[in-house]
C-alpha cells in the first residue's frame, strides 16, 4: 500500500520531472506487482535517493519488458539500442541530463589465459603426477627390497649356523650320513661318506680310523682349516669327537679330486682344456699363498698333491686334507720337524734330508711345482717313454729334453694352448729347484701364472 501511495504521489509531479525521474517512475510502475508479491523487496523505495544520486548509468537490454516501457518515454530508443547492441555493446541511458540520451558501453572483456601459461600448467601437472607415481613406485620397491633383504639375511644366518664349525655327536653323524649309506671313498685315514645337513647343504663326512695315530691329525685339521675361509680352501663345516669316535665334516664338492682328471685312463674324455687347467693352477697357487700370508698364523700344508685338490661344481680348485699341516709365526722362516711328512714324489728334498736346507714355506712351493708338471701331463710322458722310471729323476728328464731342443708339446695343435703349457712348465721348474732359496715365494708364483709368460726364462738345472 505504501508503494501505491508513492507512485500516485510521484505521478502528479512527473511533468516537471527530469528524464531520470521519468525512467524510475516507469520502472516502479512496471514492477509494482512483482514487489507486492515479494515482500522482502519493499525497501527498494527507501533506496531510491541513493540510486538517483549515483553516477552509474542505467543499463538494460533491448527487447525486454522494461526496455519496451522505457522506449515509450524516450523516442527512437529501440532503434538506437538495436544499433548499439548489434556491435556487441551494452545500451545505456545517461542520467542527470535534460533530454533522454543513450550511450553504448563496451561489454566487459574476459581476460584470455595465455597459451604458454596453459601449456606450462599442463606440463607442471604431468610432472607432479609423474613424481607422485615414481615416489609411490620407489616406496613400494623399497619395501619389497627390504623384505627380500630381510629374507636373505635370515637365510644367510640359517646357513651360517649350519656352515660354521660345529661339534656333532656320533649319533648326529649317523643321522647326517643316513646311517653311512652313500660311501664316496676310502683311504688309509678312514672312509668318506656323503651327508646332508639341510635341504640345500650337502657335506662330505670323513670318519677317521680309530687305530690311526694319537689324534694329532684330527687336531691339525680342526685347528687349522676350522679358522680360515678362502675360495680355494675347502670349508670345514663341523667335527665329531665322541669318545674314541672322530669324524670331520666338510663341504661337499661334486667333482671329486683333480687326480681323477689328470690320471684318468680315458684321458681324452676327461681332459679339461688348457684354459681351465691354467685357471685351476692359478686357483691352487692363490690358496697356498693365502695359507702362507693371509692367515693370522702361517699354515704349512706339507701334502700338496692332486688327490688333495678338490673341484666344485664349476671346477674351481679347493685345497683339502690338513692332517699334516703345521702352524708357525709369519716372522719365522724355519720350521722344526722331528720326522718327514708328505707323499713321496711331492715331498721337498729338505723335508727328509736336512743337507738340502731348512724346512719352511718353500717346501709347499716345491710340492706345487711337481703338481704343475703333472697338470700339464709331463709325469705321464716320462712313464710312457722311459722303461725304468725308478732310474730317471723326473726334473732331469724334462731338462734333458729341453737341452736337446725337443718339443714336449708336439701333440698340442693350437699355438695358444702350447704357450699355456710352456708357461706352466717353466713356473713348475722354478718351483722345484733343489735349494729352497732359489724357489720363488707363492706370491711371485701367482704373478708368473697371471702373466702371459713371454718374459719367463727357463731356470738352470739344479
- Residue 206, marked binder: yes
* DSSP code at position 226: G
Hey, what long-range contacts does 100-109 have (CB within 8 A, 24 or more apart)? 100/19, 100/22, 100/23, 100/73, 100/74, 100/75, 102/74, 102/77, 103/57, 105/57, 105/59
- The two beta strands, 245-251 and 236-242, are antiparallel
Whether 436 contacts 350, CB under 8 Å: yes
Q: Which three cell numbers stand for residue 234?
A: 675347502
Candidates 50, 279, 303, 438; catalytic one: 303
CB burial string 333-372: b at 16+ within 10 A, e below: eebebeeebbbeebbbbbbeeeebbebbbbbbbbbbbbbb
Catalytic (active site) residue 303: yes
Residue 308 near residue 368 (C-beta atoms within 8 A): no
Rounding to the nearest 10 degrees, give the CA dihedral for residues 279, 284, 288, 291: 100
Cβ neighbourhood burial of 8 (10 Å; 0-12, 13-18, 19+):
exposed
Handedness of CA 268, 270, 273, 277 (dihedral sign): negative
Element (H, E) at 191: strand 190-196
Distances in Å between the Cα of 296 and the Cα atoms of 2, 223, 291 are 116, 12, 9
Q: Which residues are annotated as a binding site for ATP?
A: 206
- Binding positions: 206
The residues that are catalytic are 303
Amino acid at each position: 500500500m505504501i508503494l501505491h501511495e508513492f507512485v500516485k504521489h510521484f505521478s502528479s509531479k512527473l511533468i516537471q520531472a527530469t528524464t531520470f525521474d521519468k525512467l524510475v517512475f516507469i520502472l516502479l510502475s512496471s514492477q509494482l506487482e512483482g514487489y507486492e508479491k515479494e515482500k522482502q523487496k519493499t525497501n527498494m523505495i527507501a533506496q531510491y535517493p541513493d540510486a538517483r544520486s549515483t553516477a552509474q548509468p542505467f543499463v538494460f537490454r533491448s527487447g525486454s519488458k522494461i526496455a519496451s516501457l522505457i522506449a515509450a518515454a524516450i523516442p527512437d530508443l529501440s532503434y538506437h539500442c538495436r544499433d548499439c547492441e548489434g556491435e556487441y555493446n551494452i545500451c545505456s541511458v545517461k542520467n542527470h541530463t535534460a533530454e533522454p540520451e543513450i550511450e553504448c558501453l563496451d561489454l566487459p572483456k574476459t581476460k584470455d589465459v595465455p597459451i604458454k601459461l596453459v601449456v606450462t600448467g599442463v606440463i607442471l601437472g604431468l610432472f607432479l603426477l609423474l613424481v607422485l607415481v615414481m615416489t609411490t613406485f620407489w616406496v613400494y620397491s623399497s619395501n619389497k627390497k627390504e623384505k627380500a633383504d630381510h629374507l636373505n639375511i635370515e637365510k644367510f644366518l640359517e646357513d651360517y649356523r649350519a656352515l660354521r664349525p660345529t661339534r656333532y655327536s656320533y649319533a648326529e653323524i649317523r643321522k647326517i650320513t643316513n646311517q653311512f649309506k652313500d660311501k664316496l671313498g676310502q683311504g688309509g685315514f678312514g672312509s668318506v661318506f656323503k651327508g646332508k645337513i639341510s635341504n640345500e647343504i650337502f657335506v662330505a663326512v670323513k670318519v677317521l680310523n680309530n687305530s690311526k695315530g694319537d689324534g694329532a691329525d684330527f687336531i691339525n685339521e680342526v685347528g687349522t682349516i676350522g679358522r680360515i675361509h678362502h675360495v680355494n680352501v675347502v670349508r670345514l663345516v663341523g667335527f665329531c669327537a665322541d669318545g674314541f669316535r672322530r669324524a670331520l665334516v666338510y663341504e661337499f664338492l661334486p667333482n671329486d679330486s683333480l687326480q681323477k682328471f689328470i690320471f684318468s685312463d680315458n684321458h681324452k674324455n676327461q681332459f679339461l682344456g688348457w684354459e681351465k687347467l691354467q685357471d685351476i693352477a692359478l686357483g691352487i697357487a692363490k690358496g697356498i699363498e693365502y695359507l702362507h700370508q693371509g692367515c693370522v698364523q702361517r699354515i704349512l700344508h706339507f701334502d700338496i698333491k692332486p688327490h688333495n685338490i678338490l673341484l666344485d661344481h664349476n671346477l674351481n680348485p679347493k685345497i683339502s686334507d690338513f692332517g699334516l699341516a703345521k702352524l708357525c709365526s709369519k716372522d719365522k722362516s724355519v720350521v722344526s720337524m722331528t720326522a718327514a711328512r708328505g707323499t713321496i714324489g711331492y715331498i721337498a728334498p729338505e723335508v727328509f734330508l736336512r743337507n738340502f736346507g731348512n724346512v719352511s714355506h718353500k717346501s709347499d712351493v716345491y710340492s706345487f711345482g711337481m703338481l704343475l708338471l703333472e697338470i700339464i701331463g709331463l709325469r705321464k710322458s716320462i712313464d710312457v717313454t722311459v722303461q725304468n722310471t725308478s732310474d730317471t729323476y723326473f726334473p732331469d728328464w724334462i731338462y734333458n729334453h729341453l737341452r736337446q731342443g725337443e718339443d714336449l708339446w708336439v701333440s698340442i695343435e693350437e699355438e695358444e694352448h702350447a704357450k699355456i703349457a710352456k708357461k706352466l712348465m717353466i713356473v713348475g721348474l722354478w718351483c722345484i729347484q733343489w735349494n729352497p732359496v732359489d724357489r720363488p715365494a707363492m706370491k711371485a708364483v701367482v704373478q708368473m701364472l697371471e702373466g702371459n709368460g713371454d718374459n719367463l726364462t727357463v731356470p738352470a738345472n739344479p
